[in-house]
Amino acid sequence: MLVPLFFSAIGFLAVIMFCIVFYLAWQKMQDKKIQDQRVKQATEAKEQFFSEDSTNKNQEGSETGLRKDSRISSIPLLNTIFSTFLKKNAKSLINLIEQSGLKIKIGEFLLLTFFVGLAGLILVSVFFHIPVIGFGIAIIPYFVLNFLKEKRTADFVKQMPQALDLISSDLRAGLDVQAALKHLADEFPAPIGEEFGKVIVEINLGFPISDALNNLAKRINTMDVQILCTGIIINRELGGNLAELTLSIGNTVRERFRLKGMIKALTAENQGSAILLMVLPVGLYILLNILAPGVYNSFATDPLGKMILIGCVVSMTFGYLVIQKITKLEV
C-alpha cells in the first residue's frame, strides 16, 4: 500500500521541482532583459545629459527609468499581491535575502517556501498522517536563509585581515580611502569584494562615504565591521593615521578569529551531542516503522500517539536550543 503512495509522492515532488526550475530559469531571463533595458536607459540618459538639446522632460523621464528596481516579484500579479499583504515586513525579508547573498526576489523565495510546505504536507500526511507538522516544513527555507547569512558573514570576517592589510598598504603608498576601497573591491572575491563594490557604487552615485560605510555595517552586522566603519568615519572627521588604524583593526580581527577557533574546538563535543539529539530519535523511529510497521504505525494514526510524537518533537527542539545557547560564547 505504501509503495504506490511513495512513488506518487515522488512523482508529485518531481513535477514541483520541474516547475520551480522552469520558473527560476524564466525569472533569470526576465532579469537579464530588464538589466539590458536599464543599461540602455543609462546610456541614453548620459547622452541626453551632455546634449545641448535635452529638455527637462526628457531628463525627468530618464531619472524615473533609472530608479532602483524595488519590485517584490517580476510577475505583475504576484508583485501586486505580495506588495499588498507584506507592506513593511517586506523590508526585513529583503535585507535577509541580500545578506544571504542569493540573487532572488521575495516573490521567488515565498513561492519556494509554499512549494516546500506543500511537499512536506503531502509526504508527512502519507507516511505519518500528521499534516500540521508536514506544513511546518515550510520554515526550512527561512532557516536556510539564516544559515547562508551566517556563513557569508563568517566568510567576510575571514577575509578581513588580508583586506585590511591591503587597505593599509594602499594608504601608506599615498592612495586615498576611496581608491583603496576600490582596489580592495577589484582584488578580493565575494563576499568582501562584492560588499565593498557596493560601497564604491554608492559613493559614485553621490552618497557620502559615511553613509555608504554605515550601509555596509547594516548589511554585515558584526562587531568587526562596525569597528572598521566607525574607525574610518571618525578618522575622516577628526584626522589621524588611517593606515595604522586599519592595520590595528586587522590584528584585532585575527586575534578574535583565533579565540573563536579555540572555543569552537572546545565545544565541538557538545555541538555533536545536540545534532545527535535531533537526528537519532527521528532515524530510529523511521527504522522501526520499516522493520515493524504494524506496531509503530499506531503512533501516527492514534490521537494519543500523535500527541506523543508532537511532544517528542517539541522537547527535542527545546533541548537542542538549550545546548546551542550554552555552547554559544561571544568573543
Residue 160 lies in a domain: yes
- Out of 107, 128, 147, pick the residue that ends a domain: 147
Under DSSP, is residue 74 helix (H, G, I), strand (E, B) or coil? coil
Residue 58 lies in a domain: no
- Out of 147, 168, 201, pick the residue that ends a domain: 147
CA–CA separation, 54 vs 23, rounded Å?
41
Phi-psi region of 302 (alpha: psi -120 to 50; beta: other; left: phi over 0): beta
Residue 66 lies in a domain: no
pLDDT of residue 323: 85
- For the cut 50, the answer to whether the pLDDT of residue 61 exceeds it is no
Stretch 142-166: mean pLDDT:
91
Per the structure, the complete domain to which residue 292 belongs is given by: 267-327
- Out of 247, 265, 283, pick the residue that ends a domain: 265
Strands annotated E in 34-163: none
218 exposed, middle or buried (CB, 10 Å; 0-12, 13-18, 19+)?
Answer: middle
Stretch 73-83: mean pLDDT:
66
Query: How remote is the C-alpha of 38 from its chain's centroid?
Result: 25
Residues 6 and 135 in one domain: yes
Residues 104 and 124 in one domain: yes
pLDDT of residue 159: 93
Residues 189 and 261 in one domain: yes
**Residue 252 · residue 259 · CB < 8 Å:** no
The H or E element spanning position 38 is helix 2-50
Residues 177 and 132 in one domain: no
Query: How remote is the C-alpha of 122 from its chain's centroid?
Result: 27
- For the cut 70, the answer to whether the pLDDT of residue 318 exceeds it is yes
pLDDT of residue 60: 41
- Where do we find the cell 526585513? 92
Residues 161 and 233 in one domain: yes
Number of domains in the chain: 3
- Cα dihedral 246, 247, 249, 250, rounded to 10, equals 120
Residues 125 and 101 in one domain: yes
Residues 8 and 109 in one domain: yes
Residue 64 lies in a domain: no
Residue 112 lies in a domain: yes
pLDDT by residue (tens digit) across 250-267?
998 888 888 888 888 888
pTM over 0.85: no
pLDDT by residue (tens digit) across 99-131?
888 888 787 788 888 888 777 777 777 666 666
